[in-house]
């Protein structure tokens, strides 16, 4: 799989740009703030329908423009697919595949798969649980696009249930008569159903990812492991954390019943996949709080390389994007990472100066300056 062409209209700093791309390595080189990351961000948006840099679409549209257009020509097994996304902040986004409209933008998920490593990935190790949940869920969707609908359904139910908890809890505290909690029972059932599906997917993913992470960490850090990953559920340590949808749904319902009083008092849902975490361990200790800066970088790299290996094993090697990472790594990690990914189908590298790109990743070069691109080699 590779991206053969990227076309942008009013995306970020680009009024318009046309960028042909080849398989193999392409380095996007230019000073910071000139638009390199915007190019790989656009490619990642086609793959996942979100950005690794911002939570909402509004910053993706060039200042003064109403909408942005991202087009990619994706080649997989010698077959070309044109994907076009129209980003409309405050309105529904639109998508076309081979110039035909599709009912929902998420219909394009799975056409392009990418794995992106960026400086922000240090938060996977050192940051809040939300960073690790997002990592798992994005990888879930990349492997099986149907999980995009599962996540959407779960988020919708969670929002409705939180609103009901808040209003019912307020009614009980104000003694305006007993709140009717029968509706809450209905939303409990919905949360358990969709939550069990999402939780089962995450547990299966961690099972397959663990040995790949340990292997990748060993390669990047030269035997400084071992690593381990432990899924930490809001259901508690007694819950059956196995990817069985029925068992998980029953456990969620029981936990929701047990925590209902606390939830009504606080007005939020305290049980479910939205409260979970992925404990990353290095040796016997948690990586967060104990890993050195270099070890944390190695762990973040291992998570992304393992994601790449897992998606490749599923069929269809993803596009690998290394966004301004080599300047952050010491010489040893830089060279080991370069050797590890040099043979990938397509690697897109961004760097402030050409010297930051290791010799093992020599290939095509595109200079980026003031939202203009120029092919050098």
Q: pLDDT per residue over 168-224, tens digit each?
A: 888 777 765 555 678 899 999 999 999 999 999 999 999 999 999 999 999 988 877
Which residues, including other chains, have CB under 8 Å from residue 158's CB and lie 6 or more apart?
191, 269, 272, 274
Q: Is the dihedral of CA 101, 103, 105, 106 positive or negative?
A: negative
- Considering all CA atoms of the chain, what is the largest pairwise distance in Å, rounded to the nearest integer? 75
Q: Which residues of 318-335 are buried (b: 16+ CB within 10 A; e: fewer)?
A: bbbbbbbbbeebeeebbe
Taking the model in full, what pTM does it have?
0.93
Rounded to the nearest 5 percent, the helix, strand and coil shares of the chain are 45, 25, 30
pLDDT in tens, 74-92: 999 889 999 999 999 989 9
- Residues 6 or more apart whose CB falls under 8 angstroms from that of 266 comprise 165, 169
Distance CA 206, CA 140 (A): 10
User: Residue written as tokens 């996977």?
Assistant: 124
- With 0-12 / 13-18 / 19 or more C-beta atoms within 10 angstroms meaning exposed / middle / buried, residue 113 is buried
Please classify residue 340 by burial: count the beta carbons closer than 10 Å to its beta carbon, then call 0-12 exposed, 13-18 middle and 19+ buried.
Answer: middle
* Residues 287/122, Cβ–Cβ less than 8 Å: no
CA 257 → CA 103, 271, 367, distances in Å?
38, 10, 59
| pLDDT of res. 328 | 80
Q: Of 6 and 294, which is predicted with more confidence?
A: 6
pLDDT tens digits for 321-330? 999 998 888 8
Question: In the block, which residue shows the tokens 């200042």?
Answer: 63
């Amino acid at each position: 799989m590779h991206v053969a062409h990227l076309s942008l209209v009013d995306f970020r700093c680009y009024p318009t740009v046309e960028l042909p791309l080849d398989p193999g390595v392409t380095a996007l080189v230019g000073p910071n703030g000139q638009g390199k990351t915007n190019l790989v961000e656009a490619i990642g948006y086609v793959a996942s329908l979100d950005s690794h840099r911002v939570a909402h679409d509004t910053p993706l549209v060039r200042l003064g423009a109403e909408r942005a257009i991202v087009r990619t020509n994706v080649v997989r097994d010698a077959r070309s697919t044109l994907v076009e996304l129209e980003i409309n902040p405050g309105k529904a986004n639109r998508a076309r595949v081979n110039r035909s409209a599709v009912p929902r933008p998420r219909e394009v998920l799975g056409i392009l798969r990418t794995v992106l490593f960026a400086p922000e990935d240090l938060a996977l190790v050192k940051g809040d649980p939300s960073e690790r949940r997002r990592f798992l869920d994005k990888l879930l969707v990349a492997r099986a696009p149907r999980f995009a609908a599962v996540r959407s359904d779960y988020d919708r139910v969670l929002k409705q249930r939180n609103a009901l908890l808040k209003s019912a809890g307020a009614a009980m505290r104000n003694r305006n008569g007993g709140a009717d909690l029968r509706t809450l029972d209905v939303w409990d059932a919905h949360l358990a159903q969709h939550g069990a599906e999402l939780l089962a997917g995450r547990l299966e993913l961690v099972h397959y990812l663990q040995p790949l992470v340990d292997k990748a960490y060993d390669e990047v850090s030269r035997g400084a492991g071992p690593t381990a990953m432990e899924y930490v559920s809001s259901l508690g340590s007694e819950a059956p954390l196995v990817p069985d949808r029925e068992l998980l749904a029953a456990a969620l319902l029981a936990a929701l019943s047990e925590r209902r009083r606390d939830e009504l008092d606080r007005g939020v849902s305290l049980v479910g996949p939205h409260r979970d975490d992925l404990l990353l361990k290095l040796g016997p200790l948690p990586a967060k709080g104990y890993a050195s800066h270099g070890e944390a970088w190695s762990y973040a790299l291992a998570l992304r390389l393992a994601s790449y290996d897992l998606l490749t094993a599923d069929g269809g090697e993803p596009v690998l994007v290394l966004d301004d990472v080599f300047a952050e790594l010491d010489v040893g990690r830089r060279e080991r990472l370069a050797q590890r990914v040099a043979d990938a189908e397509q690697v897109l590298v961004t760097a402030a100066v050409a010297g930051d790109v290791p010799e093992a990743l020599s290939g095509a070069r595109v200079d980026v300056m003031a939202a203009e691109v120029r092919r050098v080699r």
